[in-house]
Amino acid sequence: MAATALGQFRIIDLSTHIAGPLCTKMFADYGAEVVKVEPLGTGDPSRNIGPFFKDDPHPEKSLLFFYLNCNKQGVTLNLETAAGRNILLSLIKDADALIESFPPGYLAKLGLGYGELEKINPGLVVTSVTPFGQDGPYRDYAGNDLVYYAMSGMMYASGAHDREPLKHGHPQSYYMGGMIAAYATSAALFSRTLTGQGQHIDLSLQESVAAHQYDSATRYSYTGTIERRAPKVESGSTKGTRFEGIVPGKDGYIAPTMQRGRPTAPFSDYVALLGHPELDDTKFASRQLIAEHREELDDVLLPLIKEWKKEDYFNTFMSEGFVAGVVQTSEDLVNCPQLKERGYYTEVEHPVIGRIKVPGEMFRLPECPWSLRSPAPLLGQHNEAVYCGELGYTKEDLVMLRQLRAI
């Protein structure tokens, strides 16, 4: 069996929701030992976020929590108690990294700030994921995906020119932040191999999104130009759907183009492949002419495209070098032949949910592969294994700690 990529690392995960847990998931999926520490009673708030397995709003059936926390051990801990804080200090003594998403200053008020943790474990990497960072005028403000998109400038350039700014449907800021947290933590751990010293990583979710909007900031800095949303003349922004926008096919939506590599293919090639060579017309012979006769082009092509099944269109045109796309539904995605051939999905058995298929490898490391070793933990599932098996507490100690509301 090949060695794991990150199996030498032990990560303590104090984070909640999406960004921090995604960071630690990437470590866990490539072999790291990740101990997810949840608050008593409710656990990670993402346990209460849908979708839920079979629409049953149960804290062990959140599919979001399930996806983000496979391959982790799960314990409960109350950091508001002295006993709980002492347990955390014991956990980090031999840990490589701690990922947390508390408001700035919260851990320091409990005596668990980076300065205190560094004294116990000088090599510890602490990654703090917050809305706006550890300092600055907004450091104490709360945030969410809508706020990060708006504050990063990404939203101003999204959507149609004559409409309000648009946020993407998927909460991408959290996933951007989680991936950046993972590679920042990895970089700090690599740095530690050279210096022997850990460090405190300050990750702002606003900045994670703003970093993906670098071009508009750079353009403004050099030219004073403010990037705006798409003007009305571009595809899809007037009169519903248009050719080279997202258009209806027979069984869903298609993204057709006449692009074949870098240049636009001859109109005759496109209509021939569409099955209607008789429609070749010199008025559509160049990109400029197409722009001048766009409405006529729509009238000619959209009814014909509507007769194509989306997968047939995609495979026919892509195989001939045209740029084409289909809008995949959730069902299409799960049954996608490309993902199936590459083994993207895998199944795991969960004690409450049962057997379920989940997305798998994001990238391939053939010499030290990804693996799905265990489902997401039940709330407090590994208290005994971690506290007794690793820290040396007795079962009687655990009873007392429960009575003290420490675990």
Contact 30/116 with Cβ under 8 angstroms? no
- The one-letter amino acid code at 261 reads G
pLDDT at 232 over 70: no
Q: What is the pLDDT of residue 291?
A: 66
Structure tokens at 19: 């960004």
Question: Could you give the domains of the chain?
Answer: 10-213+340-403 (3.40.50.10540), 247-326 (no CATH)
Dihedrals phi, psi of 16, to nearest 5 degrees: -135, 175
Structure tokens at 50: 């849908």
- What is the full DSSP assignment across 120-158? H-TT-EEEEEESS-SSSTTTT----HHHHHHHHTTGGGS
Report the alpha-carbon distance of residue 156 to residue 167 in Å, rounded.
Answer: 9
What is residue 380's three-state secondary structure?
A: coil
Contact 92/390 with Cβ under 8 angstroms? no
pLDDT tens digits, 358-393: 898 888 888 888 889 999 999 999 999 999 999 999
Confidence at 159, pLDDT banded by 50, 70, 90: confident
What is residue 182's three-state secondary structure?
A: helix
pLDDT at 237 over 50: no
Q: What is the pLDDT of residue 240?
A: 41
> What pTM value is reported for the model?
0.89
Report the alpha-carbon distance of residue 60 to residue 76 in Å, rounded.
Answer: 15
Report the alpha-carbon distance of residue 37 to residue 407 in Å, rounded.
Answer: 10
- What is the full DSSP assignment across 319-334? HTTB--EE---HHHHH
Structure tokens at 101: 């998403």
Residue bearing tokens 């960071």: 23
pLDDT tens digits, 167-197: 888 899 999 999 999 999 999 999 999 999 9
Confidence at 212, pLDDT banded by 50, 70, 90: confident
Residue bearing tokens 């982790």: 72
pLDDT at 121 over 60: yes
Confidence at 287, pLDDT banded by 50, 70, 90: low
Structure tokens at 344: 């993207």
Report the alpha-carbon distance of residue 161 to residue 234 in Å, rounded.
Answer: 10
- The one-letter amino acid code at 287 reads R
What is residue 179's three-state secondary structure?
A: helix
Confidence at 296, pLDDT banded by 50, 70, 90: confident
Selected residue with higher pLDDT from 95 and 258:
95
Q: What is the pLDDT of residue 298?
A: 85
**Count of CB atoms situated within 10 Å of the CB of 279:** 16
Residue bearing tokens 């995960």: 13
Q: What is the pLDDT of residue 175?
A: 95
Report the alpha-carbon distance of residue 102 to residue 99 in Å, rounded.
Answer: 10
pLDDT at 233 over 60: no
Closest C-alpha to 350, from 21, 67, 23, 110 = 67
Closest C-alpha to 336, from 351, 357, 363 = 357
Structure tokens at 355: 């057997």
Confidence at 2, pLDDT banded by 50, 70, 90: low
Contacting residues for 266 by C-beta, under 8 A, at least 6 apart: 285
